[in-house]
């Protein structure tokens, strides 16, 4: 039974602030060293099911925890944990060590951990390596401050949060489940509602009749590609077309009419008899499509404008998929034209983002990232899309999914974390909902807590992702105070 605990008090808070400041250089150095491991999921290796670099990141973090005096365990490379304290109950703090690809547009090296003033740049600095290091040193601060614990505190490190959740699922099947947990992978004050997640791949296999058109107006699709992951708003999309030189010239002029300042950027140039179209958008997280400019969505507008002028594409796969995306999605990010424009009071509006577009081996496909309200079931999302796609000869394959999360606002966990936030900011606050998915939804009693303050932008899933040294130290203090409050006697 979870009992309410008294706040750690001003003396404990001051201890944590002093200790975090003492650890400052170590925290920064450890974060830089972890950033320098490009832990994007790769080919499995023995003991490293998510690839060598993810395995190295897990080994690095567990070695750090052992150096600091914690007990550690590596769960076959799928996950790992470090813990201290005693008791039957566990307070969990869940972080992930994998990252999305760097993507385009960086002005600093994404894996060097460059420091400029108070800023530390690199893929994963905020999502989620910096918070993982802060959590480690928060637990060290609690230990060094000799805060008596009535629950074990367990730092749990996942390995493929960005690409499938096999790591945390392995943990949940093979080890103890926390009594309660927080996940520093979103923002303050507390996120107690997370929408359901569905990744869908829509594929046209290239079957069907060849488009009937005058050969003089036909365009051969040599390449069509954009994006890296379903959950990343793509910053660039490229299409290469061949055909009659005059047709290519006209298509280039049409494309350039869709250029806007600053986004979308549309470049059209003819190189060695090939028209190269490049659309530039603004990268971001797929859960918040309004925060970026989707290069794939705007490439679809460009190609559709070319067909409206009387030109056609030689590939049935490309032609049909583009027609479907133009009529059923367009520039919408709420799924309205697909018949899934749902919204509820608890979690807000459904969002839809196109993360990947490819044409290869005669097939064309697009990957959707959908975040749907907690009051809806997965079938209510997938079935209408399948029905709409069927008319275009498109197959729909369901990929990664995550259940929604709703921890009541009046719960012990939410209320205690809100009190920590208020203590450190002097601001009264209510919990929030979001489309982003964190490890909180893998457990029965967990919420997201930090690491960003409301309104802070840290370029997550975008070029030049960063944290600040102030963030790293501040979060160490806040996490330590949360540990003391939730697990202390």
Spatial contact of 438 and 181, defined as CB atoms under 8 Å apart = no
Residue 484 near residue 5 (C-beta atoms within 8 A): no
C-beta separation of 52 from 42 below 8 A: yes
Can you tell me the distance from the alpha carbon of 251 to that of 175, in angstroms, rounded to the nearest whole number?
A: 59
CB-based contacts of 416-420 (< 8 A; 24+ apart in sequence):
416/4, 416/5, 416/482, 416/485, 416/486, 417/182, 417/189, 417/190, 417/447, 417/449, 417/482, 417/486, 418/189, 418/190, 419/7, 419/485, 420/478, 420/481, 420/482, 420/485
Catalytic residue among 41, 83, 161, 471: 161
Number of alpha carbons in the 13 Å side-chain half-sphere of residue 365? 18
CB contact set of 199 (below 8 Å; sequence gap of 6+): 230, 231, 367, 368, 369, 370, 398, 399, 400, 401
Please, are residues 220 and 241 in contact by the beta-carbon 8 Å criterion? yes
Per DSSP, 210 falls in state P
Tokens 């990010």: give the residue. 333
> What distance in Å separates the CA atoms of residue 169 and residue 376, rounded to the nearest whole number?
23
Residues 6+ apart with CB under 8 A from 256: 266, 268
Tokens encoding 342: 């749902």
From 12, 41, 83, 98, active-site residue: 98
In degrees and rounded to multiples of 5, residue 441 shows phi and psi of -75, -10
Residue 161 among the catalytic residues: yes
CA 353/CA 371 separation, integer angstroms: 9
Largest CA distance in the chain: 81
Going through 318-476 in order, the beta strands assigned E by DSSP cover 343-344, 348-349, 351-360, 363-372, 395-402, 405-406, 432-434, 446-448, 451-452, 466-468
Q: Is 98 a catalytic residue?
A: yes
As a whole number of Å, the CA-based R_g of the chain is 24
Exposure letters 201-224 (e unless 16+ CB within 10 A, then b): bbbbebeeeeeebeeebbbebeeb
Cα dihedral 457→458→459→465 (10° resolution): 160
Tokens of 63: 């070695």
DSSP bridge pairs for 372: 196
Sign of CA dihedral 227, 347, 168, 121: positive
Catalytic residues: 98, 161
């Amino acid at each position: 039974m979870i009992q309410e605990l008294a706040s750690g008090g001003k003396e404990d808070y001051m201890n944590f602030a002093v200790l975090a400041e003492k650890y400052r250089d170590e925290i920064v150095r450890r974060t830089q060293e972890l950033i320098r491991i490009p832990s994007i999921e790769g080919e499995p290796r023995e003991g490293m099911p998510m690839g060598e670099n993810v395995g190295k990141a897990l080994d690095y973090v567990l070695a750090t925890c052992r150096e600091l005096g914690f007990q550690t365990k590596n769960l076959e490379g799928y996950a790992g944990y470090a813990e201290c304290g005693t008791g039957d109950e566990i307070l969990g703090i869940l972080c992930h060590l994998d990252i999305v690809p760097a993507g385009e547009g960086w002005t600093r090296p994404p894996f060097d951990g460059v420091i400029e003033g108070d800023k530390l740049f690199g893929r994963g600095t905020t999502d989620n390596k910096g918070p993982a290091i802060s959590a480690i040193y928060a637990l060290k601060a609690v230990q060094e401050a000799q805060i008596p614990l009535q629950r074990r505190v367990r730092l749990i490190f996942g390995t493929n949060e960005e690409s499938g959740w096999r790591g945390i699922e392995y943990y949940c099947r093979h080890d103890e489940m926390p009594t309660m947990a927080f996940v520093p992978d979103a923002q303050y004050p507390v996120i107690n509602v997370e929408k359901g997640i569905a990744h869908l791949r829509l594929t046209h296999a290239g079957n069907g009749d060849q488009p009937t058109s005058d050969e003089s107006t036909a365009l051969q699709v040599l390449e069509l590609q954009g994006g890296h992951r379903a959950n990343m708003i793509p910053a660039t999309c490229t299409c290469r077309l061949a055909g009659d030189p005059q047709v290519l010239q006209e298509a280039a002029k049409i494309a350039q009419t869709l250029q806007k300042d600053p986004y979308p950027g549309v470049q059209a140039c003819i190189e060695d008899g090939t028209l190269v179209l490049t659309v530039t958008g603004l990268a971001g997280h797929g859960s918040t499509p309004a925060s970026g400019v989707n290069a794939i969505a705007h490439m679809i507008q460009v190609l559709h404008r070319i067909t409206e002028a009387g030109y056609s594409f030689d590939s049935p796969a490309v032609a049909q998929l583009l027609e479907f995306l133009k009529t059923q999605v367009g520039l919408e990010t709420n799924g309205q034209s697909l018949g899934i424009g749902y919204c509820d009071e608890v979690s807000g509006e459904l969002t839809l983002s196109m993360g990947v577009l490819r044409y290869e081996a005669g097939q064309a496909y697009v990957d959707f990232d959908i975040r749907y309200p907690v009051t809806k079931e997965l079938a209510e999302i997938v079935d209408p899309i399948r029905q709409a796609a069927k008319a275009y000869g498109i197959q729909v394959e369901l990929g990664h999914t995550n259940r929604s999360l709703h921890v009541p606002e009046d719960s012990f966990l939410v209320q205690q974390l809100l009190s920590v936030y208020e203590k450190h900011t002097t601001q009264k606050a209510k919990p929030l909902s979001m489309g982003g998915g964190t490890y909180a939804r893998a457990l029965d009693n967990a919420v997201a807590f930090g690491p960003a303050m409301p309104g802070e932008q840290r370029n997550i899933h975008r070029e030049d992702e960063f944290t600040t040294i102030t963030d790293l130290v501040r979060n160490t203090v806040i996490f330590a105070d949360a540990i003391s409050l939730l697990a202390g006697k």
